[in-house]
Amino acid sequence: MKTLKFLILFLFGLTLFGCNPKTFYIEREIEKNLSRFNYEILKDGKLHVILVGSGGPMNNPERLPACTAIIAGGEFILVDLGAGTIRNADLQNLPLKNLSAVFITHFHSDHISDLGEANFWSLAMGRNKTLEVFGPEGIKDVVDGYNMAYKFDTSYRIAHHGADIFPPKACVPLAKTVRLTDKDSAELFFDRNGLKAYAFRVDHSPATPAYGYRFEYKGNVVVISGDTKKIDNLTKHAKNADIFICEGERMDLVKRVSDYAKKTGRPRIAKMLFDTMGYHIDPVDAGKVAKEAHVKMLVFNHIVPPVTNFIAKRIFLDGVNDVYDGDIVMGEDGMEFILEPKR
């Protein structure tokens, strides 16, 4: 009742000052929407890690597929772009107009589907430089394909809004192939404003090549596994990470779903699920990698099955703390980690 009285008085007050309450409300909402982007994150000198999407390829309203934002020194990188993740990044108020680059780990659809939208939305938000898309051998084909698919859209935007709003050069993403000099080494391929990124090989065969990425900024290290089974090269390049973001497929749960599908006359689903167990990593094995690599925090993303309730999450993590005694975090969409500079 008190709130209602206050509202009536407030609206009456507005009319006394010549303001139309409806216009005031609408403009306030518009301003709220237009000014919601977090630009501070680009200049605070810290390393920010945001799980834009924490799920695998299966549809789930709470977990979009793989996408991780790394923001430091004014650089804003998106690692992988599963379907719908640009919408999530926008709803998470990330400063898309400042998107510097995209890193793709490998070319499964749940890692590349939103590339066209990432380019378009960052342009619409005001990006005026060419978007660079880094990835393993094959990235040029993927980027060329998206450029071809978006050719008409791009031409309409430029014709409709003008080249000042949609600079033609910025409209077309540029593929940058990252090659490793030898198969177990890490390659420094990005070094800007203090943010360094290295690529290293993981094993997700037949999706080959597949990379993980290691980021370094002001003494902090963040490693993203990409999709992989447990291999020594992952442990080698995750060494001493402050945050190790690792994919996780809970094999006993997936096996159970596969067995059930088989038993109930769904052999196609059963076979596909069974096959996935050959090229991903179980959470307990991820814990072993985290221990062997002496990482401080293990964060799960690309979570399969896409567990959302408390009990399923407990089952997903069951046994991880038996093999690893650092911090273990079940990733969620929108989760943010902030690392203060060490030097």
* Residues found near Zn ion in the complex (CB under 5 A): 108, 110, 227
Structure tokens at 233: 């090269």
By beta-carbon proximity to Zn ion, the closer residue of 227 and 282 is 227
Contact 284, 321 (CB under 8 A): no
What is the smallest separation between the CB atom of 281 and Zn ion, expressed in angstroms? 11
By beta-carbon proximity to Zn ion, the closer residue of 225 and 235 is 225
- CA distances to 135, 204, 210, 257 from 107, in Å: 9, 11, 8, 26
- Greatest distance between any 2 Cα atoms in the chain: 74
By beta-carbon proximity to Zn ion, the closer residue of 110 and 242 is 110
Structure tokens at 99: 């998107």
Structure tokens at 51: 């799980």
By beta-carbon proximity to Zn ion, the closer residue of 75 and 227 is 227
Helix (H, G, I), strand (E, B) or coil at 231: coil
What is the smallest separation between the CB atom of 226 and Zn ion, expressed in angstroms? 8
By beta-carbon proximity to Zn ion, the closer residue of 75 and 110 is 110
What is the smallest separation between the CB atom of 145 and Zn ion, expressed in angstroms? 18
What is the smallest separation between the CB atom of 294 and Zn ion, expressed in angstroms? 26
What is the smallest separation between the CB atom of 106 and Zn ion, expressed in angstroms? 6
Q: Locate all alpha helices (DSSP H) within the chain, ordered by sequence.
A: 2-16, 21-34, 85-91, 109-112, 115-125, 139-149, 151-161, 168-171, 232-238, 251-263, 267-276, 283-292, 310-317, 320-323
What is the smallest separation between the CB atom of 64 and Zn ion, expressed in angstroms? 12
Task: Work out the burial of residue 202: count CB atoms within 10 Å of its CB; fewer than 13 is exposed, 13-18 middle, 19 or more buried.
Answer: buried
Q: Give the number of other CB atoms < 10 A from CB of residue 240.
A: 11
What is the smallest separation between the CB atom of 247 and Zn ion, expressed in angstroms? 7
By beta-carbon proximity to Zn ion, the closer residue of 287 and 306 is 306
Helix (H, G, I), strand (E, B) or coil at 225: coil
By beta-carbon proximity to Zn ion, the closer residue of 58 and 159 is 58
Give the Cα separation of 119 and 56 in Å (integer): 22
